[in-house]
Each structure stands twice: as structure tokens, then as C-alpha cells.
Structure 1
Amino acid sequence: MTGTFTTRTINIATGATETMHDLTNACSAFLREVAHGRNGLLNVFTPHATSGLAIIETGAGSDDDLLAALREILPADDRWRARHGRPGHGSDHVLPALVPPHATLPVVNGELELGASQSVVLVNSNRESPERQVRLSFLG
């Protein structure tokens, strides 16, 4: 039995501030359209050098805590060797080493199999790029 592979790119307006954008509904809508009740894997990927993907609780403060922790770990100052862009932009380029640009998630009976309170989020610290792309790919 051979599996099917379906992929789509979605555009996300992230604005001019550091942000986390919840992708869970977009992932679920994509799977409703393409998975047809099958089991498989959903890969979520952002092709940017300054953003990443996280599985985290949102709305209860954890999302704000993650952004605060990233500001503490990766301060936007002049210590970074990457010097293009605004001062401190080099820290944005280190973000994907801590918050990877990909996530692979189980799909069971056509639905995203997340734990209680888990969400799929795009983490973007780059205030110079107000638009991001995310590729959703289902293999099942």
C-alpha cells in the first residue's frame, strides 16, 4: 500500500513585532481537506532563517513566557557577529537553533494528535519581516 503526499504553503502576517502565531487551526483545516481519515504524519516547516516552530500551550501565559525567555537568552544587542539589518538582528538568526524551523506531528484518523493544551505556533522574532510562509505537508 502506498501513501499519499500532499503539501501546501500558507502565508502568515506576523507584523512588525516579535510574535507567536497559532497555526493549530490551519493545520487541522489542512488535514480535514487532505487526510480523509487516514493515519500519517504532518510536517510543518518555515523556510526562514529567523523563525521557528514550537509545540506549546497558548493563552495561559506560556506563549508570553517563551518570548520573554528568548529575549533573555537572545538579547537584541551588538554582541552578535551577524551585523546586517537593525542593531541586534543577529540574535534573530540564532533563534532557529533553539526553536527549530520544523515539527513533525502524528495524524490519527485524519486528525492532528496533540496533547491537552498543546498548540502548534510559529515563533518570529524578526521585526524586519512582517510576512512569513509555512509549509504544511501530509504523508499518509
Structure 2
Amino acid sequence: MKTISVRTQKKDQVIDITDTVEHYLRQEGPEDGLCSIFVAHTTCALTTADLDPGTDLDLLDALRHMLPHLSYRHPHDPHHTPDHLLSSILGPDLVVPFSDHRLMLGTWQSVILVELDGPRERTLHLHAF
């Protein structure tokens, strides 16, 4: 297993981590298997996406428009609640098959970290098996 850090630069941001994960697989993983990726935070998430120009912003805009404007009860900071909710909807983890040290993604798929409360330093745990 390997732990890595990813620095985000904006409040809402999509970061392509595909190359980072594949670098880990080349350095430390077996040739074929599954790669588990987990982000250890409650205000960012992992998923896959097509990253044609502008689609990162489309994703962030769509996510923000999914949630209704409510009086949230989060004791820490009610304005911060949508960040937690969107993170939970997307989820903190992915498992992706790989072969020859390369993720078996579709033609346009990338593995992305979705930052919802940046800028921050984010911790990811990678494990190939």
C-alpha cells in the first residue's frame, strides 16, 4: 500500500489522478489485478469522468445544482454541509482493474479527485492486489 498527497488549488476542483495511480502501479504493483483508491476526507471524492475541455466545470456545476438550498443542521458549519453531502453521494473510493500496470479504463475515462472544500492537501491510499 502507498499513501500519497494531492494539493488542490480551488474551492471546487477536478484533478485527474490517472497518471499518479498508474505511476504507483508501475513502481509497486503486480502486473495485473485490481487497484483500490481511497481518499481519507469527508469533503472530497473519487470517481471517473470524461475530461474533455470544460467537462470538469460542467461536473462541478451539475453537482452544486443537485442539492436543494436547505437550512442544514451540521453543527460545525451549516454552510459546509453541501460539501459533505456531495462527497458522500460520489463516494471516497474506487476499485479499478489493471493489466500490464495500466488501468483498464474506457477510451475517454480518467480517474479523478473531486475537491469540494479546497484548497487543501488531500491524502489518498492506493493498494494494488
Alignment TM-score, normalising by the size of structure 2: 0.90
Q: Which residue of 1 aligns with 2:105?
A: 114
Partner of 2:121: 131
Which ranges in structure 2 are unaligned for 5 or more consecutive residues?
Answer: none
Q: Deviations over 1:19-75 (max 9, x none)?
A: 111100101101111235x21000110011111101001133322111001111136
State the partner residue of 1:26.
20
Q: Give me the CA root mean square deviation.
A: 1.7
2: CA distance, partners of 1:105 / 1:41: 6
Instruction: Please tell me whether the aligned partners of residues 21 and 122 of structure 1 are also in contact (alpha carbons under 8 angstroms).
Output: yes
Structure 2 residue aligned with 1:82: 74
- The answer for the alignment partner of 1:49 in structure 2 is 42
Distance 2:57 2:81 in 1: 21
Unaligned runs of 5+ in 1: 1-6
Please give the alpha-carbon distance, in whole angstroms, between the structure 2 residues aligned to 1:62 and 1:133.
Answer: 24
* TM-score of the superposed pair, with normalisation by structure 1: 0.83
1:88 partner SS: helix
- In 1, Cα distance between the equivalents of 2:71 and 2:79? 8
CA contact (8 A) 1:13 1:130 kept: yes
Structure number with greater Rg is 1
After TM superposition, give the deviation of residue 96 of structure 1 in Å: 2.5
- Cα shift at 1:110: 2.1
Residue 78 (structure 1) shift:
5.7
> What is the rounded CA distance, in whole Å, between the counterparts of 2:73 and 2:99 in structure 1?
44
Amino acid at match of 1:138: A
Q: Distance in 1 between matches of 2:52 and 2:11?
A: 18
Q: Percent identity?
A: 33
How many residues are matched?
129
Match of 1:27, SS?
helix
Q: Does 1:39 align with 2:32?
A: yes
